[in-house]
Chain A
Amino acid sequence: MLKDFFYKKRKYATIPSEKAKKNIPDGMVVKCEKCGTITFVKELQKNLNVCLHCSHHHSLSAPERLLSILDDGHFFEYDSDLASSNPLGFEGYLDKLKKDMDKTNLNEAVVVGEGTIGGFPAIVGVMDSRFRMGSMGSVVGEKIAAGIERALVKKYPFILFSASGGARMQEGILSLMQMAKTSAALAKLHQEGILFISVLTNPTTGGVSASFASLGDINIAEPGALIGFAGPRVIEQVIRQKLPEGFQTSEFLLNRGQIDMIVDRKEMKSTLEKLLELHMVRGNYNG
């Protein structure tokens, strides 16, 4: 068995995509989708799904993410009962939702609630790319907007980890409108002077990238994440040429002035703690 993994050709090694993820079995060992190194699953998980060999950041599920940044993993979830319906009457949509619910043990592609980070309370949202590729439909939009409104009431900072292919096609125009809904909620937060930290993880594209994920007072990206408005394949089709290496990665965005910093997953909690601490005491320099 183990031999099979070692001798398997590194077919998916350079494709950081959904396809590659399927390559990771639930077994004992797992192959890095970037460098192909075989690691024990438990070892990789202990390292927050960051490859011990090449530091490639593999996806984290929402529960894993929460465990990695919240104090003792304590979390009070909001609106966990909300679930998608099928407003467009889209064939097969409900089945797909059911399948993803069973697979992830989540009701939708985002989890929102409150917890503390380094002792500082915050409203935290985490998207899970295993659920419909993290796409945003009515429920995702509603949970995020509601979370922002809680932050408004409690005057807690709002932190959101994005991992999404964009708007959810099966909910059509209703999905698109969630961009306006979540951004309007952030407008209120902005006006009230409450901190919003957006953490962009792989992938953050389309309608999610073009709404809340780009609106942080501080935009942080994980290394090597795909972040952009249009998908690379769409752009290549339109401009009829290959995109340069590293286009639309976190590093590209940092270089183009679109994000504040790239933070390694292992440094994420301590970075957030520092940032929260810096915002606990308001500057008072009105002259």
Chain B
Amino acid sequence: MAKELPFERPLMELRKKIEELKQFTEIEGIDFSKEIIELESKAKILEQEIYTQLTPWNRTQIARHAKRPTTLEYIENIFTDFIEMHGDRLYSDDHAIVGGIAKFNGVPVTVIGHQKGRDTKENIYRNFGMPHPEGYRKALRLMQQAEKFNRPIICFIDTPGAYPGIGAEERGQSEAIARNLRDMALFKVPMICIVTGEGGSGGALALGVGNHLFMLENSIFSVISPEGAATILWRDAAMAVTAANTMKITANDLLDFGIIDGIIPEPFGGAHTDVLQQAADIKNVIANSLQELTKLSPEQRIEQRYQKYRTIGVYTSLI
């Protein structure tokens, strides 16, 4: 069973009890079916209660869940014929970002995403999904390739943020992110971005300039991690929960701000509880989005994308 999160504990305990009763029934031949039915209905109510009242911090925990499906898992279940491409042609191949060509419902597309690991060893290899400049440059190279061959671009976003390190600074982390933000605004092909887990700051946004931007129900998108915000705003990392709950980082918040185009629902408990269903739901959203964007001319797609970001902001006039 997947690792439980603190707020899920009562539900998990109840489910365990039901499981025990079922086994007891089988082994000892005593009929507990009435009790089981009672507990199961109780579990259903509890499930409803827990998963319909998730706090932003709860969602943050789900978004960071060790079993959260990764970009490669989504690629495997949404696309066919995926061929991974490597390297930025300048320095190296960043394992925190994967990308390549695949078929979506039979049509060639370019797919790119942050890649986290599933265990410690994998996470070290993937640098916990925190890219260096070469990751962003690889992504941009693959996007330029997509533009050349008129392929739609689909980006999956799931990163704590761009890596803060010596090499990253030396090789121009700022420039790499900035250039993606600028050049992604100019591509003629349809671009669809989906936040699947953590949308951590500029390192996430560098794959997040698209015609349509979606978020999974329990994903987050923030200017800084809750822990970082807590340190800066309250000088206390322990305030992360408060930070998450005040900084408006959930899919609902971003929909309210007019930043995202839609929320992709997750099964109760999060995407990891039913990866196939989640992948199917994402696939549907991509299909609809592509259909809509294909109707636009290349120029219209550039202008629509420009206006999408141009109009984001909340302010007043003193006049």
Contacts and interface: CB of A to CB of B under 8 A. Distances in A.
Interface in B169-211: 169-175, 177-179, 181-183, 185-186, 201-202, 205-206, 208-209
Closest 6 CB pairs of A and B: A230-B164, A138-B313, A183-B181, A184-B185, A187-B185, A87-B314
A172 interface: yes
B233 interface: yes
Q: Which of B201, B229, B232 has the most CB of A within 10 A?
A: B201
A96 to B, nearest CB: 11
A67 to B, nearest CB: 24
B170 A235 contact: no
Contact of A176 (B165, B222, B228): B222
B208 A180 contact: yes
Given A81-B317, A82-B317, A210-B174, A235 B306 contact: no
A235 B169 contact: yes
Interface string B238-255: 000000001111000110
A137 B314 CA distance: 9
Contacts of B305: 184
B178 A212 contact: yes
Contacts of B165: 230, 235, 238-239
25 contacts: A87-B248, A90-B246, A138-B313, A167-B223, A169-B233, A171-B223, A173-B222, A176-B201, A177-B205, A178-B313, A179-B178, A179-B181, A179-B202, A180-B309, A183-B178, A207-B223, A210-B177, A213-B174, A229-B169, A229-B174, A230-B164, A230-B168, A243-B166, A248-B169, A256-B172
Interface string A107-144: 10000000000000000000000000000011101100
B169 A228 contact: yes
Interface residues of B, number: 55
Nearest to B181: A183
B87 to A, nearest CB: 20
A172 B222 contact: yes
Given A174-B257, A228-B169, A229-B164, A142 B229 contact: no
Decide if the interface of chain A is mainly helix, strand, loop or mixed. helix
Contacts of B312: 138, 174, 177-178, 180-181
Q: Point out which of B169, B174, B185, B208 has the most chain A C-beta atoms below 10 A from its C-beta.
A: B174
B169 A186 contact: no
Interface string A177-212: 111110111111011000000000000001101111
A182 B223 CA distance: 16
Given A83-B315, A139-B313, A167-B201, 18 more contacts: A85-B316, A88-B246, A167-B224, A169-B232, A172-B249, A173-B223, A173-B259, A177-B312, A178-B312, A180-B209, A181-B313, A183-B178, A184-B185, A185-B310, A210-B181, A211-B202, A214-B179, A238-B163
Contacts of A38: none
A215 interface: yes
Contacts of A184: 181-182, 185, 209, 305-306, 309-310
Nearest to A235: B164
Interface of A: 81-85, 87-88, 90, 107, 137-139, 141-142, 145, 167, 169-181, 183-188, 190-191, 206-207, 209-215, 227-231, 234-235, 238-239, 243, 247-248, 256-258
A239 B206 CA distance: 23
Contacts of B315: 82-85, 137-139, 142
A247 B169 contact: yes
A81 B164 contact: no
Contacts of A177: 205, 259, 309, 312-313
Nearest to B202: A210
Interface in B273-319: 305-306, 309-310, 312-319
A283 B171 CA distance: 31
Nearest to A167: B223
A209 B169 CA distance: 11
Contacts of A258: 172, 174-175
Contacts of A210: 162, 173-174, 177-178, 181, 202, 206
B104 interface: no
A186 to B, nearest CB: 5
A193 to B, nearest CB: 13
B214 interface: no
A55 B316 CA distance: 40
Contact of B248 (A173, A238, A239): A173
Given A174-B314, A180-B209, A229 B177 contact: yes
B318 A83 contact: yes
